[in-house]
């Protein structure tokens, strides 16, 4: 599915009339396979329409989860009702729980009462029940099931879902999916704008993301021969916009200065209220966002990385379109958010591509300007992936092909002019019908903007807390980007402060890990809430000298 | 709107096609004003189609309500958000509540968060808030409002709604309405059958009763220039079938032997979950039903009548299609339900009518068989209302026009034969184009069946607890019937045991009074829950000698 933004294409086919909604057609969405192009057209290809299945980072640093939950399941044999024993269903089940499992004062809210009523009769008075504390939240005929829950990292682009055994804290299955809200805008601000433009958009975004979670949950449950109606607990983390859209909270105050969130408290809501498929009485737990641009996913990252557990000097960075940075010094943790843009995610890079066969992933350039490439799969180069871009910039700087301000120096080996007169550097000459792969001045500018924003955030936090590079005990890079980042080059281009390389570690999808911890442990929830309260949010754009920090952050140190 | 049950009528008119649903037309519902009758027809006129507006008993014994609720309202002036104060809305409001009203740790659940967000901005940071304990459940721009709530007695036929000031416990306004579920059946069993026949019926019955409550609530609120969205709390009582249908709980186990309810615990649900219009975070409180045929309305009656507060010997009777009876002796309270049928409500009485102009309301018959009538409005008699029927039977028995078994004795003055050969007694000869008003053998049989069922219930309870008539300190008659009941005649026909007349009192809509008490007082809720637990339910149909009690109950003592 693509959106035709301009140019002449064939009229809408029968298949499209059938498969696309009136709204979609009105917004110029088309099926690429049914649309004939006549002349120059401008087409938007949403991430969801990319050919390859999305690679989602589901792994993360090994967090050991000590489950501490009030969720349990029990098998029950209940005495049948009769004219001489007309006790209500609930009272009958409560007494059986007391007698067979020593659980006193069991109770049930409305949705669980219905399931209880039907399970007792379908199961011939032998049922399995799921409890949260003393509250019955699920009942079904037959044998008892393992207590399971779902942890979800609701990313702007991707969802990562984990099916967790609540008794052991172990991940039973994991799966990712694209966030279908992408049809309403690629980044957070576009989605907030869509929500403000029309409340129907906000409602629809709520529905589609919930449907996506339900779909993945159903597939995950199926691998264990379970149904989503047996999910006894859920924990969802995300940036503050995702949090608000998921809850259908008004977003205008979040989108406009001074960018205020509705709450910075945790929320526990009936899963059914949000449309999430789960056990009748299941709750969905949403840890607190910290501020408008620092969400509960950041809280989850800090929790998984063990922030707040010691007094060391620690940096955590979650690189994305918005990059959240936290600096811990002693008992203080200060966080900020910087608008780093999508360059580090590979967007807007001329020959950018995913780390797939044909992608340049390592680049070396000798002082003489001789380029050596490491191409995934060994074949000819068809593009360049994130690590290749970082390498290129570090090496080009070392070989003095670009200067401190990132300007490509005309006349240096490999440098040539593009059609528009701006210089570019040739990495790989086209062969076998493939284009040349180059790094353009525009690519470098994009990367430097992103790097500048992130480094400015780091430097402001360090200045704010009076920390020097050598004081930093560790730097934790969360998210997909951290996994392919070469720490040496990250320092060489000045993305990170100059620390010993072994202090830099990629922690993978730490937000997902934190979500799993909170799912399985009330103690982790309390720790996360305490963390969220402890974290001081710093608005970097009003920090004295912000522009100076930004300019300095964009500079490329001598190789 | 009437339902044509047999006979020939004109075909469906255009107006009916427009105004009635396909379902209604399929079920032979017609508009009486558009239907021409040709010959004998049988027509069902539902209570909802009676010409006069329903007279609902809203008054009840004067209960003094000492409010004891955690619901409060406050006026707040909140510091506006800015780039140097980006605290979340909730945290900002919580701090204002702490500083301006000394309320610590205020919190808000999802629906209230949305209202908070909008109220702050519409009210230019000056808002009114409604709290339940420390939880914000309502927020609105501008000045603070009185805390109000709604108490509802959901009767099978009628709804009684009370708008209550939660700060004083006073009734601000009261209004009744018909229960629109009547379209699905006049009595509880018919509605349960409809719900079992098709889950869509159950859903629809839930919706229509909620809509009726919402409609009355809106009118009540309007009288105080309020909207339903400012209702901060609700309390709803009803028989167990009404309770289950309102909550959309499965009813099959309630409708079929052994008639088991889903729960005998109180429920507190989000008002919005049920579709009830109220403040964003308002709850609806549903006190516990006691058993399948003894509902939370009975609990409310006992609460209002002060059962459980002393050790006296007391009887409470709520007469309806099902009649609930409770007998308190010392610390014990035993309740039962008897299928008394609708005769005491005036249904199936040949010349029965409401207590309106033209209705015979008092009857005296001399030993010689001379009839003296007291007719409402003084005009000619057009029918007979409930008190007139009771009088007639008591007087006919005293004048030996009927015998102990209720047989009309042929040959006695005023006795004549109907077309079908069964005897009837002439009360008023027709004049001015009006029919004769008579009491038929069938009428007497209907009344005796009802009386027999109620008296059997009373006698079984008395036998069960070893109570004699002279031990009874008071008899409390709840509901509309109690108000027009002549205590002397109630004893004369053997409906009630022989106690001094001053021990019999009508307590009006005691269920409504109990609902108001529970609405305004958490202490009353606790007392009601304790009462419901304390009450022992007795299934009279399996009590030894039930048939004997029934036969004895139907007998008419010598006048």
Query: pLDDT tens track of chain B, all 559 residues?
Result: 788 878 889 999 988 988 888 878 887 889 988 899 988 887 877 644 543 434 455 566 667 788 999 999 999 999 999 988 999 999 999 999 999 999 999 999 999 999 999 999 999 999 999 999 999 999 999 999 999 999 999 998 889 999 999 999 999 999 999 899 988 988 899 999 999 999 999 999 999 999 999 999 999 999 999 999 999 999 999 999 999 999 999 999 999 999 999 999 999 999 999 999 999 999 999 999 999 989 999 999 999 999 999 999 999 999 887 899 999 999 999 999 998 887 777 677 888 887 778 889 899 999 888 999 999 888 888 888 888 998 999 999 999 999 999 999 999 999 999 988 999 999 999 876 778 999 999 999 999 999 999 999 999 999 999 999 999 999 999 987 777 788 999 999 999 999 999 999 989 889 999 999 999 999 999 999 999 999 999 999 999 999 999 999 999 997 5
Instruction: Name the token pair of A112.
Output: 């669980």
Q: Where are the domains of chain A?
A: 2-45, 71-141, 148-286, 310-559
Query: What angle separates helix B188-197 from helix B240-247, to the nearest 10 degrees?
Result: 30
**In chain B, what residues touch A112 (CB-CB under 8 Å)?**
none
Walk across the sheet containing B37-44 and list its strands.
Answer: B29-30, B2-9, B37-44
The half-sphere exposure of B282 on its side-chain side, counting CA atoms within 13 A, is 28
The half-sphere exposure of B298 on its side-chain side, counting CA atoms within 13 A, is 37
Q: Before B258, cis peptide (omega within 30)? A: yes
CB contact under 8 A, B263 and A88: yes
CA distances, B117 to each of A249, A416, B529, B548 (Å) = 8, 55, 37, 67
CA gyration radius for chain B? 27
CB contact under 8 A, B121 and A261: no
The half-sphere exposure of B19 on its side-chain side, counting CA atoms within 13 A, is 12
The pLDDT score that the predictor gives to residue A356 is 76
Alpha-carbon distance of A148 to A163, in angstroms, equals: 7
**Sign of the C-alpha dihedral, residues B397, B400, B406, B409?**
negative
Strands B148-154 and B231-238 come out as: parallel
**In chain B, what residues touch A81 (CB-CB under 8 Å)?**
253, 258, 260
Instruction: Name the token pair of B440.
Output: 């038929």
Q: Before A436, cis peptide (omega within 30)? A: no
Query: Which of B86, B258, B263 lies at the smallest CB-CB distance from A292?
Result: B86
Pick the closest to residue B131 from B74, B66, B68 (CA basis): B74
CB contact under 8 A, A250 and B542: no
The pLDDT score that the predictor gives to residue B221 is 96
Q: What are phi and psi of A265, to 5 degrees?
A: -110, 155
Percent of residues, chain A, with pLDDT higher than 90: 75
State the fold for domain A148-286.
Answer: Nucleotidyltransferase; domain 5 (3.30.420)
How many residues does this entry show for chain B?
A: 559
Q: Quick one: three-class SS letters along A471-505? A: HCCEEEEECHHHHHCCHHHHHHCCCCCCCCHHHEE
- Mutate one of B79, B92, B110 to test the A interface: name it (highest A CB count within 10 A): B110
The pLDDT score that the predictor gives to residue B284 is 98
Give the residue from chain A lying closest to B271, CA to CA.
A110
CA A4 to chain centroid, in Å, comes to 28
Yes or no: say if A132 and A107 are a contact pair by the CB < 8 Å rule: no
State the fold for domain B71-141.
Answer: Ubiquitin-like (UB roll) (3.10.20)
Yes or no: say if A319 and A340 are a contact pair by the CB < 8 Å rule: yes
Pick the closest to residue A60 from A484, A505, A507 (CA basis): A507
CA distances, B310 to each of A235, A274, B314 (Å) = 51, 48, 10
Give the residue from chain A lying closest to B250, CA to CA.
A114
How far does B118 lie from chain A, in Å, by closest CA? 8
CB contact under 8 A, A83 and B258: yes
Yes or no: say if A472 and A315 are a contact pair by the CB < 8 Å rule: yes
**In chain A, what residues touch B249 (CB-CB under 8 Å)?**
110, 113-114, 117
The pLDDT score that the predictor gives to residue B61 is 63
Count Cβ atoms below 10 Å from residue A215 Cβ, excluding itself.
17
Q: Which residues of chain A have pLDDT under 70?
A: 46-62, 346, 432, 559
The pLDDT score that the predictor gives to residue A55 is 46
CB contact under 8 A, A258 and B85: yes
Alpha-carbon distance of B358 to B378, in angstroms, equals: 7
Neighbour-count burial of B43, counting CB atoms closer than 10 A to its CB (0-12 exposed, 13-18 middle, 19+ buried): middle
Q: B172-203: string of b/e by CB count within 10 Å (b at 16+)?
A: bbbbbbbbbbbbbbbbbeebbebbbeeeebbe
**In chain A, what residues touch B108 (CB-CB under 8 Å)?**
263, 265
CB contact under 8 A, B91 and A292: no
- Mutate one of A261, A287, A535 to test the B interface: name it (highest B CB count within 10 A): A261
Neighbour-count burial of B410, counting CB atoms closer than 10 A to its CB (0-12 exposed, 13-18 middle, 19+ buried): exposed
Alpha-carbon distance of A32 to B472, in angstroms, equals: 86
CA distances, A526 to each of A68, A529, B194, B380 (Å) = 11, 5, 49, 78
Angle at B131 between CA B102 and CA B526, to 5 degrees: 105
Instruction: Name the token pair of B526.
Output: 């606790």
Q: What is the dihedral of CA B196, B200, B203, B205, to 10 degrees?
A: -70
Pick the closest to residue A78 from A132, A145, A141 (CA basis): A141
Alpha-carbon distance of B540 to B340, in angstroms, equals: 13
Q: What are phi and psi of A14, to 5 degrees?
A: -60, -45
| Greatest C-alpha distance within chain B | 100
Tell me the per-residue pLDDT of A217-247, one tens digit each, with 9 for 90 and over: 999 999 999 999 999 999 999 999 999 999 9
Q: Rounded to a whole number, what is the distance in angstroms from the first to the last CA of chain A?
A: 44
How far does A537 lie from chain B, in Å, by closest CA? 9
Question: Which residue matches tokens 């009676």?
Answer: B50
| Greatest C-alpha distance within chain A | 100
Alpha-carbon distance of A515 to A302, in angstroms, equals: 11
- Running DSSP on this structure, what letter comes out for residue B521? B
DSSP sequence for B455-503: HHHHHHHHHHTT--GGG--EEEEESHHHHH--HHHHHHTTSS----GGG
The pLDDT score that the predictor gives to residue A480 is 73
Angle at B494 between CA B489 and CA B496, to 5 degrees: 80
Which residues fall within 8 angstroms of residue B477, CB to CB, at 6 or more apart?
B317, B319, B485, B504, B505, B506, B507
Alpha-carbon distance of B235 to B230, in angstroms, equals: 15
Alpha-carbon distance of B15 to A216, in angstroms, equals: 51
- Average pLDDT over chain A reads 91
Alpha-carbon distance of B254 to B261, in angstroms, equals: 6
Pick the closest to residue A107 from A137, A73, A142 (CA basis): A137
Q: Rounded to a whole number, what is the distance in angstroms from the first to the last CA of chain B?
A: 43
CB contact under 8 A, B88 and A261: yes
CB contact under 8 A, A258 and B83: yes
CB contact under 8 A, B273 and A110: yes
Q: Decide: helix, strand or coil at residue A461.
A: helix
């Amino acid at each position: 599915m693509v959106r035709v933004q301009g140019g002449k294409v064939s009229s809408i086919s029968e298949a499209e009339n059938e498969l696309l909604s009136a709204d979609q057609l009105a917004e110029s969405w088309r099926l690429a396979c049914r649309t004939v192009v006549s002349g120059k057209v401008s087409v938007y290809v949403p991430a969801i329409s990319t050919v390859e299945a999305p690679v989602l980072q589901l792994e993360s640093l090994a967090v050991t989860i000590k489950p501490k939950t009030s969720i349990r399941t029990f098998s029950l044999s209940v005495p049948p009702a009769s004219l001489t024993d007309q006790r209500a269903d609930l009272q009958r089940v409560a007494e059986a729980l007391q007698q067979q499992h020593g659980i006193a004062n069991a109770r049930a809210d409305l949705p669980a009462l219905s399931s209880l009523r039907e399970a007792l009769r379908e199961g011939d008075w032998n049922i399995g029940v799921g409890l949260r504390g003393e509250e019955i939240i699920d009942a079904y005929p037959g044998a008892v099931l393992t207590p399971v829950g779902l942890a979800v990292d609701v990313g702007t682009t991707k969802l990562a879902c984990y099916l967790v055994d609540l008794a052991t804290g172990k991940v039973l299955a994991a799966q990712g999916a694209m966030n279908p809200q992408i049809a309403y805008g690629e980044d957070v601000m576009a989605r907030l704008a869509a929500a403000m433009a029309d409340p129907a958009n906000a409602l629809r975004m709520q529905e589609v993301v919930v449907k996506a979670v339900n779909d993945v949950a159903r597939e995950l449950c199926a691998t264990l021969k379970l149904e989503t109606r047996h999910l006894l607990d859920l924990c969802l983390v995300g940036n503050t916009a995702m949090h608000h859209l998921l809850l259908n909270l008004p977003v205008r105050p979040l989108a406009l200065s001074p960018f205020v969130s509705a709450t910075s408290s945790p929320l526990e809501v009936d899963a059914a209220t949000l449309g999430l498929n789960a056990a009748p009485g299941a709750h969905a737990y949403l840890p607190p966002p910290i501020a408008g641009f620092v969400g509960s996913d950041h809280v989850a990252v800090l929790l998984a990385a063990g922030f707040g557990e010691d007094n060391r000097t620690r940096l955590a960075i979650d690189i994305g379109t918005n990059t959240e940075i936290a600096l811990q010094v002693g008992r203080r943790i200060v966080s900020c958010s910087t608008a780093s843009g999508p360059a580090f995610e590979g967007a807007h890079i001329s020959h950018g591509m995913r780390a797939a066969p044909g992608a340049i992933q390592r680049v070396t350039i000798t002082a003489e300007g001789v380029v050596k490439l490491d191409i995934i799969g060994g074949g000819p180069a068809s593009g360049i992936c994130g690590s290749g871009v970082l390498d290129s910039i570090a090496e080009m700087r070392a070989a003095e092909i670009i200067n401190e301000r990132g300007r490509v120096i005309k006349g240096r080996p490999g440098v040539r002019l593009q059609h528009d007169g701006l210089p570019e550097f040739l990495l790989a000459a086209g062969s076998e019908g493939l284009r040349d792969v180059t790094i353009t001045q525009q690519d470098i500018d994009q990367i430097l903007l992103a790097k500048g924003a992130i480094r400015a955030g780091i430097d402001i936090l360090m200045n704010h807390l009076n920390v020097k590079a050598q004081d930093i005990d560790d730097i934790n890079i969360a998210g997909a980007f951290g996994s392919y980042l070469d720490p040496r080059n990250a320092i060489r281009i000045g993305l990170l402060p100059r620390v010993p390389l072994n202090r830099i570690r990629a922690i993978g999808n730490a937000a997902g890990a934190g979500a799993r911890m909170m799912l399985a442990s009330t103690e982790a929830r309390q720790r996360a809430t305490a963390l969220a309260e402890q974290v001081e949010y710093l608005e970097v754009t009003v920090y004295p000298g912000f522009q100076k920090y930004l300019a300095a952050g964009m500079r490329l140190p001598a190789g």
